[in-house]
Amino acid sequence: MVERRFSKILIIFFIILATFVSIFPFFWMLANSFMSEDQIFALPLKFWPDKLFKKGMWDNYREVFSNFSFALYTWNSFFVSFLAALGQIIVCPMAAFAFAKMRFHGRRAIYTLLLMTLMIPVQVIIIPEYYLMMKLGWLNSYLPLIIPSFLAGAFGTFMFISVFEAIPTALFDAAVIDGASAYKILWRVYFPQATASTATLFIIAFMNNWNDLLRPLLYIINPKLFTVTMGLTRFQNQYTTKWGLILTGSVISVLPLIVVYIFCQRYIIENQMSSGVKG
Amino acid sequence: MSEKQKFKWHSWATPWILVFPTLIGLVIFRLIPIVSSFFLSFTKWNLITDPKFIGLKNFKELFSDPVFWKILGNTLKITAGYVTGGMIFGLLLALLVNNKLRGMNFFRAAIYMPVITSSVAVGIVWTRILGPKYGILDFFLKKIGITAPYWLQDPSLAIWTVTFVQVWKMSGYYMILFLAGLQAISKEVIEASVVDGATPTQRLFRVTIPMLAPTTFFVLTVAIMDAFKNFELIYAMTMGGPQNATNTLVYSVYLNAFSYNRVGYAESIAWVLMVVVGLLTVGNFFIKKYWAQPLE
């Protein structure tokens, strides 16, 4: 009994330690955003932000928002990530339905190629992609950030295939007997059965686009079109040691995602778990 | 499926219409770029003038450049360190959060949180934490009498620091994957081993871990893929420095193509990267065949 209690205390200790290590950097980011430059470069270190709940608490935020268009960048990121994610939740179920329910020539070949592209690092394809975007005259627009992830969402397709395959065939048979068209079966019968997966895919695609750096870095030159992640790197290069400001920018860039995450973490984690079992 | 021969519920064109957008994306944004990358690696090109065919010159230069070997070595080091670290921490965390405890959902969600945040912000805040003199880690190490090394400025250490941050960011993901595997192990097997008098250690190494083999294989596959996704972190933390100490294949493709305008050369690096990924995938396949049970 004593031994069991001891091991339980040990488990709790390690869980709390792991949680602390995982979220401390975010607290530190937040704490630093309420610190003055004097405090950041003071020794011995002070941990309690000197400006918190005092006059000038929002100084860093004010400076960041006025010198750098972080509000605009955040909006830009929302816009791009929303459209890219929206595209994926339309295109992926379509392809997945065809793969899961229909037999057609080349099905296996396309499926295999799609699976293989999951393994390939983006750097292998980025140069020809850049050239293509240049020739299309899409540089300095959001199209290169949206269209590739819109059309080539292999991950989402595989996710929907496994969801669609798990839907009871009785439902499918009933719809076919009723004479529903394939599109009707997809959008009226199958798609509504996959609400949780749709939400998860939307969030994951949204986050991936929000956090992406390489494509904005290559394709966006006009500062008015910067995404928040890219804006943050520009900001960092300009203010190399102004940690208060840089970390305030970081807070602004991660906060929207963390808020979304807090509300949706159940979905995301459950979905990741089911995809893991499937393999 | 046999009834389907008699009764057609959709026309021959329907699947093609449904697959069409994905197929277009696959061809235009994946297959054509991969093939063009291959051909461009034999050219001298700056994105503006026409590419000039120069045969194997890029590869010759690449293989005789000590910087390339360093970068290749770095890539392998990061991959090995990341895959090992990510899998070990992922499994340990999964074993921890698989216990029944009040508020466990909170702990899981908190440990998973770094996974969803941007690598750029993560890189920035860790640069601050690990900073010399004013960094919080150095401060505490000094308190217990240890002079901290220069985590990001010391060329022999920087690569492991970056690897550590990447492991820190992604361990929560592997935790969730392992957790799913743990929860799929049937209770009877565990109970049977308890009845047979297995100690917790025996249970872990003789029952749980062997039964986790398919999950472990899946995590290995995913971790290898993720190991090459460190461009953002390197960009935010070190920019490949000091003296190429944290430069990787992934990062130097970007550097050569878009900073030095040596596009053909960058493509030859991209193809070395492709070969590395390909070899790892093949190796992975053999592990699956001879060690892990087949998944389907």
Strands (E), chain B: 43-44, 52-53
Residue B3 clears pLDDT 70, i.e. is over it:
no
Cis ω on the peptide bond leading into residue A144 (within 30° of 0)?
Answer: no
The radius of gyration computed from the CA coordinates of chain B, to the nearest angstrom, equals: 24
Among the partner-chain residues B105, B125, B139, the one whose CB lies closest to the CB of A29 is B125
Among B223, B225, B252, smallest CA distance to A121 is for B225
Band (pLDDT 50/70/90 cuts) for residue A278 is: very low
Which of B:19-58 have CB within 8 Å of A? 19, 21-26, 28-34, 36-37, 40, 47
Predicted local distance difference test score (pLDDT) of residue B291:
65
Q: Which of B11, B82, B102, B116 to mutate to test the interface with A (most CBs of A within 10 A)?
A: B116
Residue B280 clears pLDDT 70, i.e. is over it:
yes
Q: In order of start, what are the domains of chain B with their CATH numbers?
A: 48-290 (1.10.3720.10)
Predicted local distance difference test score (pLDDT) of residue A266:
80
User: Which range scores top for mean pLDDT: A37-51, A242-256, B79-93, B218-232?
Assistant: B79-93
Q: What is the pLDDT of residues B88-142, one digit of tens each?
A: 999 999 999 998 888 888 999 999 999 999 999 999 999 999 988 788 888 888 8
Predicted local distance difference test score (pLDDT) of residue A276:
53
Exposed/middle/buried for residue A257 (C-beta within 10 Å: 0-12, 13-18, 19+): buried
Instruction: Note whether B121 and B208 are within 8 A (CB).
Output: no
Q: Does B151 touch chain A (CB under 8 A)?
A: no
Q: Do A45 and B31 touch (CB under 8 A)?
A: no
Predicted local distance difference test score (pLDDT) of residue B95:
92
Q: What is the pLDDT of residues A39-70, one digit of tens each?
A: 878 777 777 777 777 777 888 888 888 888 88
Distance (Å, rounded) from C-alpha A222 to C-alpha A219?
9
**Distance from the Cα of residue B271 to its chain's centroid:** 18
- CA dihedral angle for residue A111, residue B274, residue B25, residue A76, rounded to 10 degrees: 130
**What is the sign of the dihedral through the CA atoms of B90, B96, B100 and B103?**
negative
Distance (Å, rounded) from C-alpha A163 to C-alpha A196?
10
Q: Do A95 and B21 touch (CB under 8 A)?
A: yes
Residue A1 clears pLDDT 70, i.e. is over it:
no
This model of the complex carries an ipTM of: 0.88
Q: Do A261 and B116 touch (CB under 8 A)?
A: yes
List all residues 6 or more positions away from B274 whose beta carbon is below 8 Å from its beta carbon: A120, A124, B34, B37
Which of A:59-88 have CB within 8 Å of B? none
> In chain A, where are the structural domains located?
2-61, 68-278
List all residues 6 or more positions away from B165 whose beta carbon is below 8 Å from its beta carbon: B122, B123, B126, B233, B237
Q: What is the pLDDT of residues B36-94, one digit of tens each?
A: 999 999 999 888 888 888 888 889 999 999 999 999 999 999 999 999 999 999 999 99
- Cβ-based contacts of A268 with chain B (< 8 Å): 112, 116
Q: Does B179 touch chain A (CB under 8 A)?
A: yes
- Residue A38 neighbours by CB distance under 10 Å: 10
Q: Which residues, listed in sequence order, are joined to residue B53 by a DSSP beta bridge?
A: B43
Instruction: Decide which of 1.20.1440.230, 2.40.30.10, 1.20.140.10, 1.10.3720.10 is the CATH code for A68-278.
Output: 1.10.3720.10
Q: What is the pLDDT of residues B6-39, one digit of tens each?
A: 567 888 888 899 999 999 999 999 899 999 999 9
Q: Which of A103, A125, A201, A247 to mutate to test the interface with B (most CBs of B within 10 A)?
A: A125
Distance (Å, rounded) from C-alpha A90 to C-alpha A106?
22
Distances (CA, A) of B154 to B149, B158, B159: 7, 6, 9
Which of B:208-267 have CB within 8 Å of A? 214-215, 217-219, 225, 228-229, 231-232, 235-236, 249-250, 253-254, 257-258, 263, 266-267
Among B224, B229, B230, smallest CA distance to B288 is for B224
Q: What is the pLDDT of residues B237-274, one digit of tens each?
A: 998 878 889 999 999 999 999 999 899 999 999 999 99
Predicted local distance difference test score (pLDDT) of residue B5:
52
Distance (Å, rounded) from C-alpha A181 to C-alpha B11?
10
Q: Measured between CA atoms, how close is A56 to chain B, in angstroms?
A: 23
Among B229, B122, B109, smallest CA distance to B175 is for B109
* Mean of per-residue pLDDT scores for chain A: 87
Interval A241-251 mean pLDDT: 88
Percentages of chain A per state (helix, strand, coil), in multiples of 5? 80, 0, 20
Q: Phi/psi zone of residue B239: left (φ > 0), alpha (ψ -120 to 50 degrees), beta? A: left
Predicted local distance difference test score (pLDDT) of residue B296:
36
Interval B168-196 mean pLDDT: 88
**Distance from the Cα of residue A110 to its chain's centroid:** 26
DSSP-derived 3-state class of residue B53? strand
